[in-house]
């Protein structure tokens, strides 16, 4: 069974650019959540996708957007990058997004904005 | 507002000594509770969780946590730590009226010394 994978591992962008991060969910999982983990802090919830629909969003501006595809893989897009967007971006998948489901995390993508 | 507090940013301890990592939460509704561990350059791994039933939950590698509703705490303990336990530990809650997001604390770095 393949776990959650993310690509790329590391990414360097400049302020104002746009970035796309990718996540492949664990086999059998149809729900994907994205989190931002700034240096020295805990992860902050960005949004969740269930069966290709966004069904929950944290306190992040609209320039953070996402997609989920029919195979339940997902993308996180960030427009107009700011220096504060530098962080580790974590993707987590679960079987149904239910309240008692365990979220399984990928290794993350380290984004640096210069 | 809901929040999770991990007061200790770093806990140094000698190998084979006991350890307690503290976690307190604030919420207006009932919650589910989780501990995740993050090894260097890796994503988060679920260590243990409390959903219902016995307030004492255990992991397969010797950690345990006890849910104390009156004190709104979910402290993590291990009677004897190993060098390999060195990692960042995150406490998280999920509110029972919100199926989608985990709210994380800022993390505690456990540093086990020989």
With a pLDDT cut of 70, the percent of chain A lying above it is: 97
Q: Which residues of A touch B21 (CB under 8 A)?
A: none
- Contact flag B44-A48 (C-beta cutoff 8 Å): no
| Most B CBs within 10 Å, among A103, A107, A108, A109, to test the B interface | A103
- Return the ∠ at Cα A111 (arms to A106 and B3), rounded to 5°: 65
Asked if residue B9 lies in contact with residue B34, where contact means CB atoms within 8 angstroms, the answer is no
User: Which string of b and e fits B62-72 if b means at least 16 CB within 10 Å?
Assistant: ebbbebeeeeb
Asked if residue A25 lies in contact with residue A4, where contact means CB atoms within 8 angstroms, the answer is yes
User: In sequence order, what are the beta bridge partners of A23?
Assistant: A6, A74
- How high is the mean pLDDT of chain A? 92
CA–CA min distance B66, chain A (Å)? 18
- Contact flag A104-B32 (C-beta cutoff 8 Å): no
CA–CA min distance A44, chain B (Å)? 7
**What are the pLDDT digits (tens) for A63-94?**
999 999 998 999 999 999 999 999 999 999 98
State the pLDDT at residue A97: 65
Q: Which residues of A touch B37 (CB under 8 A)?
A: none
| Most B CBs within 10 Å, among A26, A34, A44, A99, to test the B interface | A99
Nearest to B63 by CA among B78, B79, B74, B45: B78
Low-confidence ranges of chain B (pLDDT < 50): none
**Strands (DSSP E) found in chain B:** 3-5, 10-14, 19-21, 24-26, 31-38, 44-50, 56-58, 64-68, 73-78, 87-95, 103-104, 108-113
Residue A1 has pLDDT above 60, yes or no: no
């Amino acid at each position: 069974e393949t776990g959650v994978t993310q690509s790329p591992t590391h990414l360097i962008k400049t302020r104002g650019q746009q970035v796309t991060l990718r996540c492949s969910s664990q086999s059998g999982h149809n729900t994907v959540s994205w989190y931002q983990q700034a240096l020295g802090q805990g992860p902050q919830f960005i949004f969740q996708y269930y069966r290709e629909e966004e069904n929950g969003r944290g306190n992040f501006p609209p320039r953070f957007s996402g997609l989920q595809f029919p195979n339940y893989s997902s993308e996180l897009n960030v427009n107009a990058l700011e220096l504060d967007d530098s962080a580790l971006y974590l993707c987590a998948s679960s079987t149904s997004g239910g309240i008692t489901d365990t979220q399984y995390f990928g290794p993350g993508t380290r984004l640096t904005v210069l | 507002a809901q929040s999770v507090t991990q007061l200790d940013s770093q806990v140094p301890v000698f190998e084979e000594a006991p350890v307690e990592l503290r976690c307190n939460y604030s919420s207006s509704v009932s919650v589910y509770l989780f501990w995740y561990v993050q090894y260097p350059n890796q994503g988060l791994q679920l260590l243990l969780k409390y959903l219902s039933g016995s307030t004492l939950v255990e992991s397969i590698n010797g950690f345990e946590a006890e849910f104390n509703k009156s004190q709104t705490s979910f402290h993590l303990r291990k009677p004897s730590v190993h060098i390999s336990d060195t990692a960042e530990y995150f406490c998280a809650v999920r509110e029972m009226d919100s199926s989608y997001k985990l709210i994380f604390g800022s993390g505690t770095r456990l540093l086990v010394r020989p």
